[in-house]
Amino acid sequence: MRNARSASRGTGSHTAVGLLRALWKRYEHHCTQTDSCPCKLLKEDIFLQIEKQQTLKKITLSFPDYTPSDSVLPSLQPLLMALRDERYTHVEELNIRKLSLEQKDIVELCLLLERGGRTVYPIRLLELVDCKHSDWYLERLGKAVKSSFITTLCLDYTHMSEGLKGLLRGGLGASQIRSLSLCYCGLGSWSGTVLASLFTKSSVRELFINGNELQCVGATELLRPLALNSQKRAETLNMTISNTGKKTRKRRAKTESRPEVKGRPWLKKLHMFDNSIDDQVPSQLKLFMELICILVKFSSDLTELDLGENHIGEAGGKELLEALKERKAAKLSAIKIQVSTRMSTETFSAVLKNSKKLKSGKRKQQKTVQYLKSSNVFYCAFQVISIQLQLGCID
């Protein structure tokens, strides 16, 4: 019996190695045919898995060393052709970064994602980060995602105007997506209403929109249906169960999990880091904070809330603190929270004390000293000032 098992493992390993060698050979062939440069990172990943004698489940296509002056350009086409030719169906995660996507690329990618083809590719995570495209591409992608296995979609650094509406028209709301990331996509206050409509139709439970410009108006429109639904659900539960006793809390959890009680929309994670939410118009910030506090007080599903680099101020910090205390009194689970430090130290510390620490998520890459070196003048000035500070020549 033991020999049979080891023989079975050996056969599986041999199959994995053969599949990966064939995939790389086919990919190189298509790169030559299409005059595209092969991806060094993909080669490293494939040969690492060959050493391990395991299939490659996560494919990353990225060209960090590429410059626009290169004679041979990177392309998505060779990879898609190789996957289809070899019927390589082991990919679960597809990560594509900084590529200019042509119409043919989009069509081929969508055909690969959709379940309707002869061969099914069970890709569950798709990342298209900082890829140039047209608005048409997002609508077509929405249609493909609707009939795919994808549950996590990341479109960070993808500039969107009509593109967000195109995703919805394509059918994003009817997809299986649970986690949606649209960080640094140029989303303005107009997008709040569009995103709110998405929640009322879709199964999205995690939203990452860091580095956009929703401002108070857009963020308020986004939060309104979420806050009102969480309050309605809490009121429904309070009418059906009492608030005392251990057995009652168990009944509450069971009741809360029923489909008729747990209706849409609701979220587990909401990351709105750096969205220009501030007190320039106090009445707008007040309305935004009212909805945030309703969500914090009543949503038992919410586990993460990132409001970092949004300046809710001292008054907003105190409102949030009171909401956190009420949540604690209602015996709901603690939320991981991040807020701006632009409030008193006492209030900021109290907010953190009544919540869990949220680790830094997606942040825009910061300029480094290396950037300064690109300009000798600025770099020299930087060095001179640094030396003077060390010597105490300037305060």
Distances (CA, A) of 166 to 43, 139, 192: 35, 4, 15
Kindly list the strands in the beta sheet with 93-97, ordered across the sheet, starting from the edge strand earlier in the chain: 58-61, 93-97, 125-129, 152-154, 179-181, 206-208, 269-271, 304-307, 336-339, 356-357
- In one-letter notation, the amino acid at residue 144 is A
Q: Where are the domains of the chain?
A: 210-364, 368-395
pLDDT for position 288: 98
> In 171-307, where does DSSP find H-type helix?
191-201, 215-240, 246-256, 282-298
Which tokens is 271 given?
């990351």
CA distance 224 to 23: 49
CA distance 275 to 283: 17
| CB distance 217 to 192 below 8 Å | yes
Name the architecture of domain 210-364: Alpha-Beta Horseshoe (3.80)
What pTM was computed for the model?
Answer: 0.84
Count of positions (residues) in the chain: 395
Which tokens is 148 given?
């795919």
Average pLDDT per block of 10 residues along the chain, 395 residues long: 43 80 97 93 96 96 80 89 96 94 91 86 95 83 92 93 84 89 95 91 93 97 94 80 54 49 80 96 97 96 96 97 97 95 95 90 50 35 43 48
pLDDT for position 252: 54
pLDDT for position 359: 80
CA distance 255 to 44: 50
pLDDT for position 65: 79
